[in-house]
Copies of this chain bind each other. A is one copy, B any other.
């Protein structure tokens, strides 16, 4: 599911698109985002190289990433700890259930296939597309 955090992150980036330094306070006011979310999101965007931050009285955040290079899938990966869902599909993983039942498990394989389809959809759109449009996002 696309979360509020993803929505907030895109809107923070929107407010930073002018290339200027913005304080967290101003960003939150501009985009109507709760302060505690903004700090958390800006930290993750900084770690991912999308924004840079400076401290001090005139400090704040500034956009440094190319929004055409980051897809919605990338952004969701930056914001969320991607699920450990598929750990049982990693090579060498020993599954108690399979050992006990002595049969294959379709659940994880099925969920993985569906997740891959969703990921393909999410990787079709860049953050730039979301802010400025993409033919597939028009009516």
CB within 8 Å of B: which residues of A?
A: 1-4, 6-7, 10-11, 14, 30-32, 72, 76, 80, 82-85, 96-97, 106-111, 113-115, 117-118, 121-122, 125, 129-134, 136-137
Chain B residues with Cβ below 8 Å from A72 are 114
- Ordered by A's residue number, 12 sampled pairs between the chains whose C-beta atoms are within 8 Å are A1-B82, A3-B83, A7-B85, A7-B111, A30-B97, A106-B130, A106-B131, A107-B130, A110-B129, A111-B130, A113-B136, A118-B122
Given contacts A106-B133, A107-B130, 20 further A-B contacts (CB under 8 A): A1-B80, A1-B83, A2-B83, A2-B111, A2-B118, A3-B83, A3-B85, A4-B83, A6-B111, A7-B85, A30-B97, A31-B97, A32-B97, A72-B114, A106-B130, A110-B125, A110-B129, A110-B130, A118-B118, A118-B121
